[in-house]
Amino acid sequence: MLGALVLSAGAGCSRRVPEGTTAEQAVANAPTVYVAKRIRTLDAAKPEVQALAVKDGKVLAVGTREEALAAAGTTARVVELGDATVVPGLTDAHGHLAGLGQALASVRLEGTTSLAEVRQRLEKAPATAYQGDWLVGQGWDQNDWDTQRFPTLFDMGEHLKDTPVAMWRIDGHALWLNGAALKRANITRDTKDPAGGTIVRLPEGDPSGVLIDNAMDLVMKVLPPPTREQHEARMHAALEHCARVGLTGVHDAGMDLRTFRLLQAWDKAGTLPLRVYAMADGQTDEHVQYLKDGPFQGKLLTMRAVKLLLDGALGSRGAALGAAYSDEPGHRGLLLLSPEEYASRVHAFVGRGFQVATHAIGDRANTLVLDTVLRELAATGTKDARPRVEHAQIMTAEDITRLGANGFVASVQPTHATSDMPWAEKRVGPERIQGAYAWQKLKAAGAVLALGSDFPVERPDVLAGLYAARTRQDPSGQPPGGWQPDQRLSGQEALEGFTVGAAWASFAEAQRGQLKPGMDADFVALSVDPVDAPPADLLTGQVQLTVVAGREVFRADAQ
């Protein structure tokens, strides 16, 4: 998967060996002692050590340099990491690998501040951004533009008038098309809004070029899929990028069957570089095949969960709210599955032994998740189900209490709060915002926090996530003191969210999340201490080494 694994014979000595070779396997399985200024084990019995011994993909010993060398034996290689801080393997508990691969290859619109800048980027589109003759891209956010309005088909530019163009909003819940794309999808003023979706229209009734939530399916039926070569290249790039930013694992939130089959093949061949906890796509017709196949356990690939989407996103006003949006009277958002269909799919997947993970952003959606899942678990007597609420973004005080008291996982994304804070209160008002992005309130209620990024909606850079969790500020340090600062996490709590919390959320707490003898040798060496260093240092910190099952999948000094 990675073009080459980086193998070290000690400080200052490194060489590249192609994947799959005997040499690579020999080094990965040989006893190795890693020595650093600080190793945070997250084991209360021995929280901080200086050396870590690894053998056969497992932690052999932790302690002083002498203790680790004694456990590893005289033939062990020694890797000196200097002033680095080593932490247990960092896991993004909510990401989209196929989406990241597409984002890396397509037109990137993140950070654009005007429609003119968007058009400039479209004019410079790379060849990799085409699927068939369609130009694809993502990352636009009208809240960042000087116009602050949804774009229309007329905003794309004349030079692309004959090329179908499809550009996803940054949250993936809205799609912007030009006239050629609307024509290919046969979307006209007579096309009715599908259930759970909206075709945004111009004043005269014609489609504006923006589709929200389930309306995007009208385009997905005609958009050419990536070729096999494109798909493999994009997945390779996504996994390599994750290793580079310090991730040893990803919880993939809604994996399509094509991607799952590809990762199964790579896992079987031993070329999958990271641990992937895949959630089956429970939204599309592919959910039928996943129900037929049931859960899967490979070497580094696991599928034990299903991802269901109950509502849209707050930024595109698709999140399902109990009362109307504060900035759009009369509009309460969208349910992407009817309550009856959602209950049916929860019942089916629980019956097949899947963990249920549900995307719920608005308070109406979160209430429906809790009502439905709790009713199903009580009826079936299912124990230790660890149901997950993905985002848990806008919640009532009562539902925060229910979520924590009933063993749910709160799968939340720190950088969502810092991206949304300029406009979130405008959407929901001053009262509902008190239950928004409420990490400490969720913890106090007893919920396990599993932290992620929702890449490619946000960057998968885990140091940025740790910074956002600790500060609730943007990279420039605004607002002073942080947004809703009482909901900030401590450095320890933030680190636990990407390690211990993510492990518990995937039923892997006995194997990962800490560095203890017998546990998986997944760990990351950082140039900055994520717990005690000033938070601003995280923004310039560097990943020095990423290790998965004892195998070095990224090393900065070998690049």
Written as one string, the DSSP assignment of 477-531 is: --STT-SSGGGPPPHHHHHHHTTHHHHHHTT-TTTSSS--TTSB--EEEESS-TT
Number of neighbours of residue 208 by Cβ within 10 angstroms = 19
Calpha distance 558→449 (Å, rounded): 34
483 Cβ neighbours under 8 A, 6+ residues apart: 417, 418, 421, 472, 473
Query: How do the pLDDT tens digits run along the chain, 559 residues long?
Result: 333 333 333 333 333 333 444 445 555 567 999 999 999 999 999 999 999 999 999 999 999 999 999 999 989 999 999 999 999 999 999 999 999 999 999 999 988 999 999 999 999 999 999 999 999 999 899 989 998 899 999 998 788 889 999 999 988 889 999 999 999 999 999 999 999 999 999 999 999 999 999 999 999 999 999 999 999 999 999 999 999 999 999 999 999 999 999 999 999 999 999 999 999 999 999 999 999 999 999 999 999 999 999 999 999 899 999 999 999 999 999 999 999 999 999 999 999 999 999 999 999 999 999 999 999 999 999 999 999 999 999 999 999 999 999 999 999 999 999 999 999 999 999 999 999 999 999 999 999 999 999 999 899 999 999 999 999 999 999 999 999 999 999 999 999 999 999 999 999 999 999 999 999 999 999 999 999 999 999 999 999 999 999 999 999 987 6
CB burial class (10 A; 0-12, 13-18, 19+) of residue 133?
exposed
Give pLDDT, residue 5: 32
Q: Alpha carbon of 178 to those of 21, 161, 418: distances in Å?
A: 49, 7, 31
Residue 110 in tokens: 């993140």
Helices (H), 158-250: 179-184, 217-220, 228-244
Backbone dihedral angles phi then psi of residue 231, each to the nearest 5 degrees: -60, -50
**pLDDT in the model for residue 53:** 98
pTM of the entire structure? 0.89
pLDDT at residue 173, as a whole number:
86
Answer for the pair 331, 428: CB distance below 8 angstroms, yes or no.
no
- Please choose, from the candidates 236, 7, 211, the residue with its C-alpha nearest in 3D space to the C-alpha of residue 101: 236
Task: Spell out the domains of the chain, with CATH numbers in brackets.
Answer: 23-83 (2.30.40.10), 133-221 (3.10.310.70), 228-555 (3.20.20.140)
Amino acid 27: pLDDT: 57
Q: How far is CA 119 from CA 172, 180, 207, 457, in A?
A: 20, 16, 20, 21
